[in-house]
Amino acid sequence: MRKERKSVRILWIGVCLFFLYFPLIIMAVFSFNDAKSLTHFSGFSFKWYGSLFENTQLLDAVLVSVSIAIIATIVSTILGTITAIALSKSKKIVRTSILQVNNLPIMNPEIVTAIALMLFFSFANIEKGYMTMLLAHIAFCTPYVITNVLPKVKQLDPHLADAAMDLGATPFQTLMKVIIPQIKPGILAGALFAFTMSFDDFIISYFVSGNGVENISIVVYNMTKRLNPSIYALSTIVLVVILFALLIGTFVPYILVKRKGVKMNEEVN
């Protein structure tokens, strides 16, 4: 009876994981296909990777996606962290009302945010392009940074900052040396969230960009009508990079902690 249940469990979870990974595996396998077909594997080749690096449209899009994600992450992380620290100190009514407005881009369906920003840029007569895409990305990433950082700031002991300032630290020193080191995990989580949100975004970028500025999602979207294995190659590269980053992110801290622990033990001995 017990064993039977366990096998049912393994089967069910296995089927679910298969469902989640099957398309990714297909994508990776057929990116090495010799022919253009996405159903029949005729031989191994790096052909599509080669054509990927000759495709300037795709390469430009990768550049746009990466640069926007990096700049938007940096700006929104700084802006969001400063705001979260300030919010934790401000009056309740200010905090509540700002958080309510801050929640708007998170709660709104993405397409509504996209339309709203598009209307704004055309109203303000800002020409659609790289700048508008960047501004829009900062606008939808910052709220997530704030929701990640604020709980950490609230857990802080307020006396620590007071103590630092009593001991002669300037407010800026207090911020950099006392407050920020303590809320680092929240900031990192927020930054990571912002980066993935920005890198994966399609709808908002689609509505606010123009003049030939395209990110990866927009290029993929425009290619859906004619299947192109180069997209598979690109997706496989992205998949490998993400897996690699995840592995490093999961195991490096673990190894570091272990080494530190060993060192400390040695010192004690």
Partner 1 sequence: MKQFRKLVTPYCLWLFLLTVVPMLLIVFYAFTEKGTAITTFSFTLENFTKFLDPIFVSVLFRSLKLGLLTTGVCFLVGYPIAYMIAKCKDTTQTILILLITIPTWINLLMRTYSWISILSNNGLLNKLFEAIGMNSVNMLYTDFAVIIGMVYNFLPFMILPIHASLTNMDKSLLEASQDLGASPIQTFFKITFRLSLSGVLTGITLVFLPSISAFVIPKMLGGGQYSLIGNFIEQQFITIGNWHFGSAVSLILAVFVIGLMALIFMAEKRTNNSVEEEEGGWLSNAKRKKVR
**Restricting to residues 44-83, which ones interact with partner 1 according to CB under 8 A?**
79-80, 82-83
Binding residues with partner 1: total (CB under 8 A): 92
Task: Rank residues 6 and 267 by Cβ distance to partner 1 and give the closer one.
Answer: 6
Place of tokens 């080494």: 259
| 120 is an interface residue for partner 1 by CB under 8 A | yes
| 104 is an interface residue for partner 1 by CB under 8 A | yes
Rule CB under 8 A: choose which of 52, 69, 139, 187 binds partner 1. Answer: 139
Nearest distance, CB of residue 248 and partner 1, angstroms:
14
- For partner 1, the binding residues in 223-242 under the rule CB under 8 A are 224, 227, 231-232, 234-235, 238-239, 242
Task: Rank residues 226 and 267 by Cβ distance to partner 1 and give the closer one.
Answer: 226
| 145 is an interface residue for partner 1 by CB under 8 A | no
Interacting span for partner 1 (CB under 8 A) from 44-52, 54-62, 110-118, 257-265? 110-118
Nearest distance, CB of residue 223 and partner 1, angstroms:
8
Whether the CB-CB separation of 215 and 125 falls below 8 Å is answered with: no
Beta bridge partners of 33: 44
Nearest distance, CB of residue 129 and partner 1, angstroms:
17
Interacting span for partner 1 (CB under 8 A) from 45-53, 54-62, 135-143, 261-269? 135-143
| 184 is an interface residue for partner 1 by CB under 8 A | no
| 134 is an interface residue for partner 1 by CB under 8 A | no
CA distance 34 to 44: 5
| 216 is an interface residue for partner 1 by CB under 8 A | yes
